[in-house]
Structure 1
Amino acid sequence: MSFYVGQDYNYLNAFIKVYADAIQKSQTRADMAIFAKQIDFILNSEIHPHHNFCNVAGVEYETLQHEPQAPGTYLYNEHMYRAARTGDLIDVVAAMTPCPWTYLEIANRFVKQGKNTDDNVFKPWIDFYADMEDDSDSILPQLFALIDREAEHYDQHHLDVVKEEFLKSCELEWEFWDQAYHQRSWHFVKPMKQYR
């Protein structure tokens, strides 16, 4: 779990920066507010599930905030950075949306399976993300509506690119979880260090 938290901390730092890029690409204050709210959510609320995992693992949260990026984290971050550097607002949002969407889906699956019981040490994590759907100001409907709205201004070729960005992020989400489960790191970093 500590491996996951260290990597997620890295990922969320990139997520904040890409949301800031989305603010720059926004044409309305309403859109800017969506991304500003998400930055605030990450900085001030999303630390709670991290603390839950750290408590279960018996490690201090602060000790995991300087972990180097593992390969999957690096690839996912670079995917989002590229969307922010080269794409329009729709590209950025398409690359960002799978993260909150998949977390909500995972948490809801656990709820449907009855795994959010008081004796489950992960109940706070499950409840935190499952509650996103009940929030009247939930981010997901806003992000999907923004994608739909922006899609009206693009041709089919660009929309195919947007779809690919979204699906790549879905794949990278899966890879991120798999990387954490297997605690996968760089294969050649340690051998390279001995020759320095």
Structure 2
Amino acid sequence: MQYSEYLIQKAEPILKEILNHPFVEGIKTGKLSQNAISFYVQQDYQYLDEFVHIYGQAISCSQDRVFAQFFNEQISFLMGQESKAHQILCQAAQLNYAELKNAIPSPKAYLYQSHMLRAGKTGSLLNILAALQPCPWTYLEIGRHLTANSTSENPYQDWINFYADSSTTTEKIFKFIDQLAKNATDNELKIATQYFLKSCELEWQFWQQAYYQEDWRFKQVLTAAEREPFS
């Protein structure tokens, strides 16, 4: 068994819950509240900003130019193409995308960002890839799942197609993970596995927070402190 297959096997219970989550179900049926979509787009924009930094850390840890070139391409994609998925959701929900880009990361988004940064600080490319892979992997699985269960009249169909067609990125990252795993110790693999599974859990948490708009209890305090200069 390849290490990537082992990771997928271990994450199966989490993936099942993601695919059955009410937010994902709402994408399938074309019925989601405007508040849920707004919260999701705001937080995902902040998360993807951090994802760019993680890819940058992956480049700095890459001793193989093939790795570095791939991560550089992913940065370009995130900076240019990933926003299309947000725009699809915003158009369907009649939201102004430009107004959703300056949110304070929610508690769970903040936790996810911190988790990714912690993987980067280990200096291990295997840990970094294990931590970031659940994002493209679970979105690919969501896209595939919804493609088989949605209709052409679905207002989110273009969003579904966008992620259902993202297999190349996921396959390459799993290939890199398997390549690095061959030279890793048992303890290193255990650590990487934890990064992978915790990121899978945090992907579920991300849908959960968006569906129920789970934000900071004292967000007004945070927002006021951010806007008011110290004097």
TM-score range, shorter chain: over 0.9
Name the amino acid aligned to 2:82. Answer: E
Question: 2:61–2:123: 8 Å Cα contact kept in structure 1?
Answer: no
* Structure 1: gaps spanning 5 or more residues: none
What's 1:3 paired with?
39
Between the aligned residues of both structures, percent identity stands at 41
Equivalent of residue 165 in structure 1, options 167, 192, 195: 195
TM-score with structure 1 setting the length? 0.92
Evaluate the alpha carbon distance shift between residue 191 and residue 13 of structure 1 in structure 2; reply closer, same or farther with a 3 A threshold: closer
Alignment partner for residue 156 of structure 1, among 162, 183, 186? 186
Q: Does the CA contact (< 8 Å) of 2:89 and 2:156 recur in 1? A: yes
SS, match of residue 166 in structure 2: helix
Q: How do 1:1-196 and structure 2 match up within 5 A?
A: 1-113=37-149, 115=150, 117-133=151-167, 138-190=168-220
Gap runs ≥5 in structure 2: 1-36
Check the 8 A contact 1:104/1:132 in 2, yes or no.
yes
Q: Give 1:193 deviation, angstroms.
A: 7.0
Say which structure, 1 or 2, has more relative contact order (CA 8 Å, 6+ apart). Answer: 2
- Taking structure 2 as the reference length, the TM-score comes to 0.79
The structural deviation recorded for 1:194 is: 8.2
Please tell me the residue identity of whatever aligns with 1:67.
A
Q: Secondary structure at the match of 2:196?
A: helix
CA distance in 2, matches of 1:24, 1:87: 9
1:75–1:192 distance in 2 versus 1, CA, 3 Å: closer
> SS of the residue aligned with 1:185?
coil
Q: Counterpart amino acid of 1:89?
A: L
